Structures are given as C-alpha cells and as structure tokens.
Amino acid sequence: MIKRLVQIILIMAVFPEMSSAQTGGEKGVVILTSSFPVEGVVIDDSLHNHGLPYRVELAPGLHSIIVKNPRRFDYLQADFFRMVEVRANEEIKLTIEFPSLTLVNSYPHDASIVAGGIMLGKTPMPLELSRYKNQSLALQKSGYDDFNFLVTDSAIQKSSIWITLDPKDPYASNHHDNEFKTEAWKERGIGKNKNWLIITSVLGITSGGIAAYYKNKADNAFEKAKRARRTGDRDLQAKLENRTEKYDRYSTIGFIGLQINLGAAVYFLLKAK
C-alpha cells in the first residue's frame, strides 16, 4: 500500500500536468448587465447573439469582450470594450455603459488630430474624449497654425466641437531680408484704416438720418402751407413757407454730409488694398 502511494506521488511530481487535468474543465463565469439596448456581444472574436443580462462560462485566461452599441453609427456613443481576466470558479459581473463620443471638426476639414505625438485621425472624427481628459490635443494642417486645446469635463460632455484654424502669415520669416516685406504686409488690409472706416461710416449714417428727418419735416410744412393758401391765411402761409425753406437747407446739408462720408469710406476702403 505504501509502495503504491509513493508511486502516485512520484508520478504527480514528474508529470504535474496530469494533476491539473482533472481541473481543466473548471471555468469562470462572466455576467453582463445593462440598462441600455445592445446589438450583440462579441467574446474573443466570436459573436454571441444575446441580449442582456447575459451569463457566459469562459475558460480561465484573458478574454476580450465587446458589446455592440446600436447607436454607434450616429457617432453618439461607442461600443463597450473590456479585457477581462477570468479565473476558475470565479464570477465576474460587468455593468455595460457605452462611452459618449464627441465629433471633433475643423474649418477647413481634413486637419490631423494629434495626442502626445500620435495622430488619432483627421477631422471630422468622433472621439471618446474621456480617454484624453486633462491632456492636450492638437489640430494640425499644412498652411495653418496649429491649434491646441485641453480636454476638460465640459469638452467631454459636448456632442461636437468646431475649431476654426488660422492661416499662417504668408510673409512671416525669420530672415532679415523679409522684415520689410512682413511689416508692409501687416500695414496693409482693412485693419490699417479700420478707425477711419468706422468714423466715416458713423458720420455717413448720421448725416443720412438728418437729411431724411428734415426732408420729411419740410414736406409736412409745405403741405400745411398749401392748405393755408387755400384758406386765404397769408401770414400762416408765409411762416410755413419759410419753415419749409429752412428744413430743406438742413436736409441738403445732411445729404451733402452723407455723400462726403460715403466717398471718404470708399477712399479708405480702396486705399487699404
């Protein structure tokens, strides 16, 4: 009897896999639950057409679990993905929550989205921004300045983010022979005469308003003068005719001011080119 026991011990020591063969069939259990509708479950590239809750037995080891989200095509939420370490005779419960996506877009389109020196893709592109919380993302496009932004909680909660890229200064250069060209470019454009354009525009609008106001008063006074003439009230007629002439002069001055300021605005606009 003792001899037989020693033989068994020696066999187990030399061939340990034989002792584990008896437990080879033991599995772990993964239970998937969710309050959201799902499209399907994929475990280790094998599709399981089950709704949730779903209980599945898996062999011990590392397994990939993907739960398909029916809303992934409208770029609102992504699929659920998790790597799970399964142990024999253990139960793992997973509550499925689909991560929200944010559509990162730019004008112009086709800008590279870069995180930590790695390109994630090109705009427009849906991203799970929660993965990059408190990190800086950069939008890069040839001919435009890079745009960097920090991924905050408010950015993560947005369904879309639009970013307008600024074109690079075509004359910008570190070479001394281009300094004059750069300064000349900066002095050109509407911005150079911006203040004069604002002043002449305001004065032109004011002059036009004055001209219209007094022209209306002159017309009213003239109509009253005609009625006084028909009634034979000469004194009132003369008074109203004088008032009409005065209002006409004011209207003419306002109209001239409108023309002068309009001409000045056009001049400054053309000079800016």
The string of pLDDT tens digits covering residues 51-79 is 788 899 999 999 999 888 877 655 556 68
pLDDT in tens, 39-57: 889 999 888 877 788 899 9
How would you classify the pairing of strands 102-107 and 61-68?
unpaired
What is the rounded CA–CA span in Å between residue 46 and residue 121? 28
Percent of all residues in the chain with a pLDDT value above 70, rounded to a whole number:
77
Pull the structure tokens for residue 237.
Answer: 């007629």
Residues forming beta bridges with residue 30, ordered by sequence position: 56, 92
Cα 41 to Cα 77, 97, 221, 256: the distances in Å are 16, 13, 86, 79
75 burial type by CB count under 10 A (0-12 exposed, 13-18 middle, 19+ buried): middle
Give domain 27-95's CATH number out of 3.90.110.10, 2.60.40.1120, 1.10.357.10, 3.40.50.620. 2.60.40.1120
Helices (H), 152-233: 153-157, 179-187, 194-231
Among 13-22, 118-127, 255-264, whose mean pLDDT is lowest? 13-22
Looking at residue 49, what is its pLDDT?
Answer: 72
247-265 b/e with 16+ CB inside 10 Å = b?
bbebbeebbebbeebbebb
